[in-house]
Chains A and B, each alone.
Chain A
Amino acid sequence: MISPKILLSDKEIQVILHRLACQLIENHDDFKNTVIIGLQPRGVSFAERLMQLLKEDYHLHEIQFGKLDITFYRDDFRRRDTPLQANETDINFIIEAKNVVLIDDVLYSGRSIRAALTALQAFGRPKSIELMVFIDRRFSRNLPIQPNYKGRQVDVVNEEKVQVKWKEKDNEDAVYLVKNKTK
């Protein structure tokens, strides 16, 4: 087996996180009318890390934060080989007239984000929705969806997979490029 190629190291990730936090502050100021929603499962780890940074380094303590699961909104229900398992949705506020920042780790086909946009409607009519992703795989989109904020843009072929790892979950901060097993 070929060992996975490292795309971003721990240090690079910290720099990117700070940059993304600053970009959010630039656009949303004190977050009075903005909520942050992480997509289950992997987007939540990224979003939580960002929340921690906004609190500890930028003293923004009052940001509303939710977790959104999109399993029941996916368009590939019954089209996959393996059944989907749902995760917890935890949004205990209404997003009516709010600016929503949707956070996921990797933007690939855009289908998860499409599902998330539908799922968000169940929580009210937001004023706006922005998308932040850590990795943007820009040439593999199936739908007209683009991020407003991105950690790093990567150009990889479809047979390769980008894995974002977080200390809290995977014991390290790193982004890998992994060859998918032959089909």
Chain B
Amino acid sequence: MKTLSVPDLLGIKYLKKEDIDLIFETADHFKEVINRPIKKVPSLRDITIANLFFENSTRTKLSFELAEKRLSADIINFSAAQSSVKKGETLIDTVNNILAMKVDIVVMRHTNVGAGVFLSKHVNAKIINAGDGAHEHPTQALLDSYSIREKLGAVKGKKVVIIGDILHSRVALSNIYALQLQGAEVMVCGPTTLIPKYISALGVKVEHNIKKALQWCDVANVLRVQHERMDVKYFPSIREYTQLFGINSALLQEINKEIVIMHPGPINRGVEITSEVADSNDAIILNQVENGVAVRMAVIYLLAQQIKK
């Protein structure tokens, strides 16, 4: 009988390979559940989950909310924009007030790096990190790996290139940890300004030529250009970025190799990826979204299993 080795999901960094295997096995069962006529199981009917989003999110929030509902948990939603955070309340106070309403699990997205770790040390609830600043986004990395496993049979031994804005990306860091833990090779590709200086210390390859990167890989995970996180100009123009790092069908045809195309969304169509590629059969972008619900159900279910009543 298996259980997760961690009490919270704060980052992939804290997980073991066995944890990821267990999450995926459990997600397989939930994927079957969400494809039934009635897509709901009553497992978590006595669990209450608070979704705290201190930063905007659409799909992650929806995906978590749906996963929680499919497990029959009670949920409360909170977004910083309409809250007392604006009135100067601290994070611990906000969360403790919510926990006083007998909440068992907190799903949190926060602009500050390490907000989840901080919270886990101060409050008595299970914490799931739904993205902390430019640090980690563990459930996204898990669903990415799950989608690769589903498409290619395994993650081990695969070559994955993460393309684009690595510097501001929590998806990139969590993906690097997750892929390496499962025995995949990882490369990052993007403009010099958007690749962290010491990233090779994580054991990843660095490439600035998109063609070479694509020739090398089995899977290309294309990241969004995050305009909102860029305080200064990191590249001369969008047009230049698209020309140098954009994925289009002409480029893929030239390489003439089967590459699985992934994107965590939301897509800037015509910037990092053309519509033609994003909507092609090589792209598993919508599978990622579907798998996101199953993987999040698995994570919540496995953490809830540790709560003693």
Residues of B within 8 A of A79 (CB): 309
Assuming A72-B42, A73-B43, A86-B29, is B307 touching A78 (CB within 8 A)? yes
Q: Is B36 an interface residue (CB 8 A)?
A: yes
Assuming A78-B305, A83-B305, is B29 touching A89 (CB within 8 A)? yes
C-alpha gap A73/B36 in the complex (Å) = 15
C-alpha gap A59/B40 in the complex (Å) = 37
Residues of A within 8 A of B44 (CB): 77
A121's nearest neighbour on chain B, judged by CB, is B38
Number of interface residues of B (CB under 8 A): 23
B304's nearest neighbour on chain A, judged by CB, is A78
B38's nearest neighbour on chain A, judged by CB, is A122
Q: Is B32 an interface residue (CB 8 A)?
A: yes
Main secondary structure of the interface of A (DSSP, over half): loop
A68: min CB distance to chain B, Å: 11
Residues of B within 8 A of A83 (CB): 1-3, 305
Assuming A78-B304, A85-B1, is B33 touching A72 (CB within 8 A)? yes
Which of A71, A88, A124 sits near B37, CB closer than 8 Å?
A124
Residues of A within 8 A of B38 (CB): 121-123
A112: min CB distance to chain B, Å: 14
A74's nearest neighbour on chain B, judged by CB, is B43
Number of A-B contacts (CB under 8 A): 54
Residues of A within 8 A of B304 (CB): 77-78
B44's nearest neighbour on chain A, judged by CB, is A77
Q: Is B286 an interface residue (CB 8 A)?
A: no
Q: Is A33 an interface residue (CB 8 A)?
A: no
Is the Cβ of B37 less than 8 Å from the Cβ of A123? yes
B305's nearest neighbour on chain A, judged by CB, is A83
Assuming A72-B33, A79-B309, A94-B37, is B43 touching A85 (CB within 8 A)? no
Which of A71, A77, A84, A122 sits near B40, CB closer than 8 Å?
A122
B46: min CB distance to chain A, Å: 8
Is the Cβ of A73 less than 8 Å from the Cβ of B1? no
Q: Is A171 an interface residue (CB 8 A)?
A: no
A123: min CB distance to chain B, Å: 7
Residues of B within 8 A of A71 (CB): 29
B14: min CB distance to chain A, Å: 19
Residues of B within 8 A of A3 (CB): none
Q: Is A118 an interface residue (CB 8 A)?
A: yes
Residues of A within 8 A of B1 (CB): 82-85
Residues of A within 8 A of B71 (CB): 72
Q: Is A136 an interface residue (CB 8 A)?
A: no
Q: Is B92 an interface residue (CB 8 A)?
A: no
C-alpha gap A74/B42 in the complex (Å) = 8
CB-contacts of A120-170 with B (<8 A): 121-124
Is the Cβ of B41 less than 8 Å from the Cβ of A78? no
Assuming A73-B41, A78-B305, A78-B308, is B2 touching A85 (CB within 8 A)? yes
Question: Interface centre among B37, B44, B304, by most A CB within 10 Å?
Answer: B37
CB-contacts of A43-86 with B (<8 A): 69, 71-74, 77-79, 82-86
Can you give 22 contacting A-B residue pairs, CB < 8 Å?
A72-B29, A72-B42, A72-B71, A72-B301, A73-B43, A77-B305, A78-B307, A83-B1, A83-B305, A84-B305, A85-B1, A85-B2, A86-B26, A86-B29, A89-B32, A118-B42, A121-B38, A122-B38, A122-B39, A122-B41, A123-B37, A123-B38
17 further contact pairs, Cβ within 8 A, besides A73-B43, A78-B309? A72-B42, A72-B71, A72-B301, A77-B44, A77-B304, A79-B309, A83-B1, A84-B1, A84-B305, A85-B1, A86-B26, A88-B32, A89-B32, A119-B41, A122-B37, A122-B40, A122-B41
Interface residues of A (CB under 8 A from B): 69, 71-74, 77-79, 82-86, 88-89, 94, 118-119, 121-124
Interface residues of B (CB under 8 A from A): 1-3, 26, 29, 32-33, 36-44, 71, 301, 304-305, 307-309
The 3 closest A-B pairs by CB, nearest first: A72-B41, A122-B38, A82-B1
